[in-house]
Structure 1
Amino acid sequence: MEPRSSKHDREGKHWLDHFRRMGIGRTTDRTRGLLEFCDTFDSIELWADPNANAQLILIWLLDFLRPYKEVSSKLSLVQADDEIANYLPESLKEWKLPVFKVTDRHLALASRAWQAWRAPTPEGCFELLMQDTTILPRLRPAIIALLEELPDSLNGIGASEQLMLEALSYGCTDPGQALYAARDRRVINEGEAGDLFDELAQCPEPLIFGLGEGPFDPSEHTRYQRYRRAKVGLTKLGQAVVEAEDDFSRHNPIKRWWGGTELTNERLWRWDREIRSLVAPA
């Protein structure tokens, strides 16, 4: 978000490289940092999708801008009910969504939520569910969706993994279609879903068969070719896990990040889907 410098030596390294020239407003200076860019406007509307990743970006951005009163005082917030990118600009003009002035309360809650997401345990995020977050109305559902990605208290896999395995248990043999089941949650993207799917197929005791021998090349093109040729299904362990009759973590190593929390078999924070409660490592 800083001004362009020598370290932004390739297209895509500076934040403004991701904007079309026609979409960056009144300025054509593509060397500016975010704060300088914001200085050129009298008012700024932030439009946020309801999905979890968009809400994370929103709280990060509000936390980032909070110390800069000359910018944060210009902010207004529009919370969309659907994904904005699915609509043409002409359609968005017809939307009559309420516009709320961003206040210190918005900024304080965003900072609290962002620090909770970056913390070394999920406890802060869970505690947010006990607090009044209505001033950011999409934040609570987003936090719940993210907490659901923690390993389940019964079978040791997150909600997106569960949906992909359920698709296979219902007879799906196409890896690409199984990935769509996870994408429908709007928490992880297709690449992240593919990473999870591959891991379930190449772990020491796989839950999925039919993808061939790992380790797998994670590149998009190679994955597409591998998935296009494959017919997949659940192993015996995979069927037991999807039915919550066995625990993935009893058979396979876990080492991944959830926000600022490192999850391992020895330090495995879990989520109880039945009562929507955080379960600390045993």
Structure 2
Amino acid sequence: MSASRTSKSKNTKPAKSPVFDGRLNLEQQRKRAKDLLRTLGAKTGDAVARFEKAGFTPTPQTISDIKLADAQWVIARENGFASWPKMKAHIDQTAERNRQIKNGTPATLDTDKTLHLRCGSDIRHGLQIAGFKGAFLEFADPFCQGPVPDLPLDQFVQTRADFIADAYHIVPKDALARAKREYGALATLGEYDHVVLWFEHDSYDQLILAFLMDFIKTTRPDTRLEVISVGTVPGVERFIGLGQLSPELLIWCWENHRAPVTDAMLTFGSKAWQAVRSPTPDLLTDFITSGPGPLPHMITALQRHHAELPDPKTGLGLTQKLTLQIIADHGPLTVGKTFAHLMRTYDPLPYLGDLMFWADVQRMMACVDALFTITSDDRDANWAERTLTLTDTGHQTLAGQRNYLDNFTGTRWVGGISVVGRSCI
């Protein structure tokens, strides 16, 4: 098992919610608008609330005046568009792209001297289907977990490989070989005419993007550099990642979110990377509060990363807190179902993969008094079916009546910051 992302399982970063490919059907949306108008007229369901959420406030006196066009406007707003005509134009455009792909006549988008760099392999096949011709490079070191120390590159790569081998149960020599291969491949960026960095808005992606900005700023490869950074996609209610998207929606990202990499982006990303690697939280805190920058999703992602630092009252990072909360709300619960709740509804900015979450669960078990019990299973492949049940200690910790760090016997990392349990000091 590697530390990379693949299309659906993505290994350490799998699909984090049910897959929505972003395809919208115009007739289906018309039917939704008619149903909404009918429900509003019958004064049933949540129709009024949906109109109000879209910025339209119907009253008992004005409901009869609301037309189908008004309901269509609400549907367009729910799908992330400013108006029904803008949604229709988007649907028509993506439908044409889909038709071209199916007919084997996709538009010319890149060349064979283009390199697509992505922190996983989740869009590799989709890009090929969409008609992209360039090479694909995966760089997927999950900096959102494990130590990210400020060390010379060779020592840094060894540290990361050691962590990945231990956390994700990979043979150490295989983890190191993969790490050396991925880091070494970055030296080839200048061999391409055009390099495009594909990233989404979560901390898994944005921490890697910060590293790449720092690397590019230092090495200055002789090539045209562009970045695609995506936070929302029309028609996708809860956008989790690029791997959700159909091939024509990848083309939409290419046409609507691609921007040249500027010196300002390189400097901003390099500062972000230095903040992530700092052994104390001061640089990270200062960077987050410095205001928005030229990389649109970096600050929000680093805020989520910062939330993994222990809460003063409970000693829990946000993922740990949410995990306990899910078990308290729904448990006893399997690890797999706990992960699903985390990704679909609880986490404000999901970034973990399934193996990454399992590594967090195992790390939380390093306690004097257990936060939860877990059913035994000697077969590691079935870890997702093991059941978690919150203990009294877990309830007390979640409520802030006990501090997890007083109970924790291990060490975990938030970038360059080590969080050490007081029980092992």
Distance in 2 separating the partners of 1:113 and 1:127 = 10
Alpha-carbon distance in structure 2 between the residues aligned to 1:162 and 1:201: 14
Q: Deviations over 1:221-278 (max 9, x none)?
A: x3342442x4331110101111222211122324122111122135xxxxxxxxxxxx
Of 219, 224, 227 in structure 2, the residue corresponding to residue 77 of structure 1 is 227
Provide the aligned length of Structure 1 versus Structure 2.
240
Q: Which has the higher helix share?
A: 2
2:301 equivalent to 1:137: no
Query: Are residues 1:207 and 2:371 paired?
Result: yes
Contact 1:109 1:133 in 2 (8 A): no
Q: Counterparts of 1:163 and 1:116 in 2: how far apart (Å)?
A: 25
1:25 to 134, 159, 168: 134
Q: Kindly tell me: are residues 94 and 257 of structure 1, through their superposed partners in 2, closer, same or farther at Cα, counting changes over 3 Å?
A: closer
Query: Which amino acid in 2 is paired with 1:205?
Result: D
Change (3 A) 1:115 1:91: same
Q: Unpaired segments of 5 or more residues in structure 2? A: 1-116, 137-180, 232-238
Q: How does 1:185-224 map to 2 (within 5 A)?
A: 185=347, 186-201=350-365, 203-212=367-376, 222-224=379-381
The TM-score, its normalising length taken from structure 2, stands at: 0.51
Aligned to 2:382: 225
CA–CA distance in structure 1, aligned partners of residues 205 and 225 of structure 2: 17
Are residue 86 (structure 1) and residue 238 (structure 2) matched?
no
Cα separation, 2, equivalents of 1:46 and 1:226: 34
Identity of aligned residues (%): 22
Q: For residues 165 and 104 of structure 1, do their structure 2 counterparts lie closer, same or farther at Cα, with a shift above 3 Å needed? A: same
Q: Do 1:175 and 1:227's aligned partners in 2 also have CA atoms closer than 8 Å? A: yes
Aligned in 2, Cα 1:262/1:93: closer, same or farther, shift over 3 Å? same
* TM-score, length of structure 1 as denominator length: 0.74
Structure 1 gap segments, 5+ residues each = 1-14, 267-282
Aligned to 1:262: 418
Which of structures 1 and 2 has the larger relative contact order (alpha carbons within 8 angstroms, sep 6+)?
Answer: 2
Cα offsets for 1:19-66 (capped at 9, x unmatched):
779677269xx999434344222x322221111110011111111111
Q: Distance in 1 between matches of 2:371 and 2:258?
A: 47
Give the aligned CA root-mean-square deviation in angstroms: 3.1
Give the equivalent residue in structure 2 for 1:39. Answer: 191
Comparing 140-149 with 44-53, greater Cα deviation is found at 44-53
Shift of 1:70: 4.2
Counterpart of 1:188 in 2: which secondary structure? coil
